[in-house]
Structure 1
């Protein structure tokens, strides 16, 4: 009886608190996936975007356009060390104080890096996030990079390098083959020959050049927008010079013979850029049309072209369509895992599909439905929603709501998807392979 009474009081409190926000009485634990997004541009050109999803967990992030594509030959791997160093001592707090106070509030603070963005994300209850915002600010904007703390984290860096899965290595090398050793071709991981060469001075120089207001965004999910604007203004970031390093697509081939029984292959052509939303959605539908694995749990039921190849070649363990979009370019292709003796046969089979430039009516309809469902399912996790708001704020400049995204998918026609498929069919290829490659033909030996 006591527990039922407590439950009733909690539900009553929630319904009163959020009555002006949402009409439904039932509130999902993770919050609603349909919400309006507010965006404010500050005087220093920093972007503040947030949404209220009425979830039990709040999330606040500080993000910068400072990913590995901004690295130079002198500081390759600096973003990897930057990620590892997140949470170490700052100008106002020691590493111990940061860890203790965040854990005491029941919150978590993480740093993530992709090829364009470095993000610091705080997650916790609403009261917990409010208590820990000062630590988020210090970790993201007041780094010190003590050399002894960097040395203490070196074993973790070496462990990450040693435990990278071969599929990740293949995708990493694919970017290098497509964009060469600059811009988007830079790895997410520090090169082994640079271990121990990223000093505190190099980290401070990189941060001062890239962690600036006009390259920053403060984003939130499950927070009050006006409070988030006040927090963003308190960061005190200065404007820096606007630099956009172009990363043109070239195409090429990289092979890394590592031995073993399997071959891991990533093959791609030039895809779509985020600044062209219609084309980006067409490529996303094409990805599902070609196949991204089964959508029915515990089954192998899949009618996509790539899945049919798996049935005809049992030696192949995995084939999935690969679609990566960046602000000014993209990659579209496939990721393949097969036994080394069948790698060549399977690669040519996948290549014939990519070079066909065709999509059936059935595959198109299935791809569109799967994409819409993928968007909805992904947004059930608030972290995915925050990541989407971050990417749109920093890389596109405008943020669309989940409902607007679903409506935009509905407007994509089969002709749009066919145009994307033909772009792949006509584009120069890039290929990266890892494993035992003696049965894998070189790119210029294939009929492509």
Structure 2
């Protein structure tokens, strides 16, 4: 390690000192300039007869990325298999019918690639990345992981320790706990399921339950394959051949039912984390765009590193109500059949009530029309900038394409998305704030809650 560190610490001028003659302002004789790469192609989307959606963007990058998006998040769990999605995410590197866990690990490493899995309440995403020349070999491992799971009992049992570690890390983060409790209180089913395996199910998820969950959800009618730096014909061949073993629509999906409620976690922490929300907009809807703009008006966190977010209405309003330190942001989460919009506050136990009431008062002010065109224009610019910057990375672009094609089997160009954001008016923002104020509330809170109001008191 010392050798590596010493090499990295060499001053860059050492390399420049190797040439003391005239500067290179003209191409070297005998060398031809490499031709410019062709422009990236537009996103192509097609739906195969087996129900699988294929989307690709050929950007001629030497690095290829392929993601398999599956509607298999925690919302699809039942009462009997709570936590199965959490265990399934950790089981992505286990032995399959076509390759052992050792072969998958060493094979991906030998290709210089990566194979990762992420999950949310609605989707599970398997992503493979490698050099373009090695894509065919890596796709074999990707297909094995997504369609040929075996779930050997002794390997599944070994996952228990990793499940416990995940839960322990989540419990150390109050924000995660408050958001999980908010969903549990807000919905009767589906979206109320936690991203983490409940304590009473740790070590009790069986191979049979995992296999049953995969057979019900990992079907072509509930999957989409997205490729960046990949020809569309390659993905079509992948979908028509290798992924066709899981043809079908899958098990019926239960619709989430919003109910509202409250969950409080009393402890000795000095900081009180509180989240109050009402039902928001559905993903992809015009209402969801309005709530996104309203979130930026109220404040969605600082836009400058280590900034204080002084331009947000929440920060300005709460600062007038208390001299105690606080943090307040607007919370917005959209799903395929529901959404949550609200206010997240962090404050000292003694001033928690003042901070929460002052934050709610700011939303009431917007609902009464206390919002200017300048506020809306600034918020829309922030939304558009954040959206466009997310598309600059391959991860963000793949996530955006995958989310759209999985839900609608189509892809909206960025220009259309920007036009939808620009279409948000002042009346739309006021109505969205009114929906929060008048809607049935859900609240979750943790900390020393002696001065924290209940949901029916705000």
After TM superposition, the score normalised by the length of structure 2 is 0.88
Give unpaired runs (5+ residues) of structure 2. 1-15
Q: How does 1:97-246 map to 2 (within 5 A)?
A: 97-164=103-170, 165-180=173-188, 182-233=189-240, 234-236=242-244, 237-241=246-250, 243-246=252-255
Structure 2 distance, partners of 1:334, 1:443, is 12
Structure 2 distance, partners of 1:10, 1:430, is 68
Q: Is the 8 A contact 2:69 2:402 kept in 1?
A: yes
Q: Is the 8 A contact 1:273 1:326 kept in 2?
A: yes
**Which of 280, 290, 295 is residue 287 of structure 1 equivalent to?**
295
CA RMSD of superposed structures (Å): 2.4
* Residue equivalent to 2:4: none
Q: CA deviation at 1:195?
A: 0.8
Q: Which moved more, 1:74-83 or 1:47-56?
A: 47-56
Figure out how many residues of one structure are paired with residues of the other and give that number.
428
Q: Is the 8 A contact 1:37 1:400 kept in 2?
A: no
Q: CA deviation at 1:184?
A: 0.5
- Counterparts in 2 of 1:323 and 1:12: CA distance versus 1, 3 Å: farther
Computing the radius of gyration from Cα coordinates, the structure with the larger value is 2
- Counterparts in 2 of 1:362 and 1:86: CA distance versus 1, 3 Å: same
Structure 1 distance, partners of 2:154, 2:216, is 24
Q: Is the 8 A contact 1:170 1:265 kept in 2?
A: yes
Q: CA deviation at 1:58?
A: 2.2
Q: CA deviation at 1:301?
A: 4.9
Whether 2:357 is the aligned partner of 1:348: answer yes
Q: Is the 8 A contact 1:275 1:328 kept in 2?
A: no
Give unpaired runs (5+ residues) of structure 1. 23-34
Whether 2:258 is the aligned partner of 1:249: answer yes
- Counterparts in 2 of 1:337 and 1:227: CA distance versus 1, 3 Å: same
- Counterparts in 2 of 1:53 and 1:409: CA distance versus 1, 3 Å: farther
Q: Is the 8 A contact 1:304 1:363 kept in 2?
A: no
Structure 2 distance, partners of 1:306, 1:126, is 48
* Residue equivalent to 1:363: 375
**Which of 43, 51, 58 is residue 49 of structure 2 equivalent to?**
43
After TM superposition, the score normalised by the length of structure 1 is 0.90
Whether 2:91 is the aligned partner of 1:85: answer yes
Q: How does 1:384-399 map to 2 (within 5 A)?
A: 384-399=396-411
Structure 1 distance, partners of 2:404, 2:67, is 14
Q: CA deviation at 1:299?
A: 3.0
Q: Which moved more, 1:387-396 or 1:350-359?
A: 350-359
* Residue equivalent to 1:434: 446
Structure 2 distance, partners of 1:72, 1:257, is 28
